[in-house]
Amino acid sequence: MKLHLWAIAILSVMTQMLTTSGSVEAQTEASDYGIQEVAQINQLVRQGWADYEIRPSIAATEGEWIRRVYLDILGRIPSVDELREFTKDRSPDKRKALVTKLLYDEQYTEQYANNWTTIWTNVLIGRSGGTERNSLINRPGMQKYLRDSLARNKYYNEMVYELVTATGSNTPGTDGFNGAVNFMTMKLEEKAAQATAKTSRIFLGLQVQCTQCHNHPFNEWKQQKFWEMNAFFRQTRALRRFESGTRNVSHVELVNESFQGEGLTKDPNKADIYYELRNGITKVAYPVFVDGQTINPSGYIEDVIRRDELGKLMMESRYLDKMLANRIWAHFMGYGFTKPIDDMGPHNPPTHPELLDYMGQQIRKKNFDLKQIISWVALSEPYALSSRTNSSNESLDDPLLGETPKFSRFYMRQMRAEELYESLLTATRAHEGRGDYEAQEELKSRWLGQFVVAFGNDEGEETTSFNGTIPQALMMFNGDLVKKATDKEKGSFLNELAASEWNNTQKINYLFEAAFARKPNTNEVKVANQLLVARKGDLTAALQDIWWAVLNSNEFILNH
């Protein structure tokens, strides 16, 4: 018993030490790890603090920082072993070493690719894309394309070119398989309105969907622009292919076909398309890119493949690099330079125009190398700040209060549903020896399905009920996933922990480190001991109660 109290005393001293070292760190200039881009990002963000006379939050603790890095790069929290290895390391450049390891070490390649595949799949086809019966999307096909590309760290602009220009079969294992086609197979209905809107929005940050029917009320986009952009997609068709001799769909093939235009004359050399102004007047449109560049208007694929031309024009567009900068920044920082991040027209000026422009330029200079961009942001000073507020930034830098983000603290956000899923597996060591990717995805997507809510319109919009409300709390309280994570039957994580040769303090520490990347404080140790008494010495049951409480807490579910 005496030994036990002693252990608690040590713990509380350690907690204080952590806090103290954190605040000391904040006063010194943050390291740029000898990376020019990191230095420049830090300087431009600091400039904003000076302009608003804001004092940034203290630096995050090591545990908080490493938890973020794992979540944002790999899509899961760090294991206790990974945490301890990092904490033990005393070298000054260990943060850079960790980011480099997560991005480039072979043991993490698969996890990196899987996480970003999830992120991009949700962007490109939504959480429900390909899950309905008779869908033209093959979700595994989309994922296979992304996984292969991301694992090889294919340059982002090349990926965009492939997604925009893809032809071939959507289904793995069929002739001419090209998973990239799945981005567009479901977006060609109604004269490819969705292909037009989503391509502009996702890759260029231009929201044109309103201008399908009328001039945009707030930006310079005119209805004409929508249809000029739309004209690029009009040679494209998604065709169902059948197993020979049957009516069973084997796959969907995306093809380019000559387009003869919509006019009465149907002259493919011009391939007119028409749209109607709100006053009923009909106008004609030809393919013209957002910056006014035109291409050969012929609809014959022998003359010109319109999507190929579009792909080339997009690769050169500054919108492409700025949109990527904004997306990656928002992923790590919680907010982008514009809100929403994919609405970057002139009506919606960015919070840090210079920084956005700089990052865009550097991205272009480095050939759209995703891993480099990620490392700049992950090693930046604002990313390493605490999510605790101080008197200077509490109200001035709270985007929830309608303030524009100044990035003077880390903005907390809920884990995404996929991140929670993977983190629970990591925390309970259930990720060791799992089935193959497809089998895992199947299980995960069945679980995720309960949170997807569709809006019932033709644009396939959806929302999620995994948003911090009661159904999510119920899932964490009582759902199968958490039941499994807190299971105490033979062979379970808790059962093995209880049976280990560690003492009780070590076992409790392990749970807190697994979930929070920190050790428990005095009060938490006290309540853990009370639970042990309440369970009449049944250690596994007590660990189960603690683990349940830990997993249900704000500190666990929030990326902080």
Partner 1 sequence: MSRSLTPKGMTRRHFMSHLSGASAMTMPALAMGNTLLANADDLKRRRKSAVLLWMGGGPSTMDIWDLKPGAPTGGPFRPIATSGDVQISEHMPLMAKQMHNMAIVRSMSTREADHGRGRYYMHTGYVPNPNIEHPSYGAVLSHQLSHQRPELEIPPFVTVGGGSVGPGFLGMAWAPFSVNSNGQVRNLQMGLEDQRLYQRMYALDLIESGFINQRRGSAASDHQKILKKTLNLMTSSQMDAFKVASEPENVQERYGNTNFGRGCLMARRLVEQGVPFIEVDLGGWDNHQNIHATLRDTKLPELDQAMSALVEDLEQRGLLEDTAIIWMGEFSRTPRINGNAGRDHWARSWSVVVGGGGMNGGIAVGETNSDGTRVETEPYTSQDVMASVCKALGISLQTTFTSQNGRPMKIANSGKIIKELFS
SS3 for 386?
Answer: coil
Phi/psi at 189 (nearest 5 deg)? -65, 160
Handedness of CA 69, 73, 78, 81 (dihedral sign): negative
Rounded Cα distance, 342 and 329, in Å: 12
8 A C-beta contact, residue 143 and residue 123? no
Q: Shortest approach of partner 1 to residue 466 CB, angstroms? A: 11
Rg (CA), the chain: 26
Quick note: the x/- pattern for partner 1 over 162-201, rule CB under 8 A, is ----------------------------x-----------
8 A C-beta contact, residue 238 and residue 188? yes
Work out the number of other CB atoms within 10 angstroms of the CB of residue 525.
Answer: 22
8 A C-beta contact, residue 258 and residue 228? no
> Footprint of partner 1 on residues 212-251 (CB under 8 A)?
213-214, 217
Q: Does 461 bind partner 1 (CB under 8 A)?
A: yes
Q: Which segment (163-171, 312-320, 412-420, 421-429) binds partner 1 by CB under 8 A?
A: 412-420
How many residues can be counted in the chain?
A: 560
Q: Does 353 bind partner 1 (CB under 8 A)?
A: no
Name which position in 135, 167, 178, 389 contacts partner 1 (CB under 8 A).
Answer: 389
Token output for 482: 């958490």
What letter does residue 59 receive in the DSSP assignment? B
Q: Which segment (114-122, 313-321, 390-398, 418-426) binds partner 1 by CB under 8 A?
A: 390-398
Q: Does 446 bind partner 1 (CB under 8 A)?
A: no
Q: Does 8 bind partner 1 (CB under 8 A)?
A: no
Q: Which segment (130-138, 180-188, 206-214, 299-307) binds partner 1 by CB under 8 A?
A: 206-214
Q: Does 469 bind partner 1 (CB under 8 A)?
A: yes
Q: Which segment (22-30, 283-291, 315-323, 549-557) binds partner 1 by CB under 8 A?
A: 549-557
| Residue with Cβ nearer partner 1 (67 or 96) | 67
Q: Does 508 bind partner 1 (CB under 8 A)?
A: no
Sorted by sequence, the CB contacts under 8 Å of residue 108 that are 6+ apart come out as 74, 101, 102
**Cis bond leading into 297, ω under 30°?**
no
Handedness of CA 526, 511, 507, 534 (dihedral sign): positive
Q: Does 342 bind partner 1 (CB under 8 A)?
A: no
Q: Which segment (265-273, 302-310, 435-443, 522-530) binds partner 1 by CB under 8 A?
A: 522-530
Report the interface residues with partner 1, using CB under 8 A: 190, 209-210, 213-214, 217, 280, 338-340, 343, 348, 387-390, 394-395, 398, 400-404, 412-414, 450, 453-459, 461, 463, 465, 467-471, 473-475, 477-479, 521, 523-524, 527-528, 530-531, 534, 545-546, 548-550, 552-555, 557-558, 560
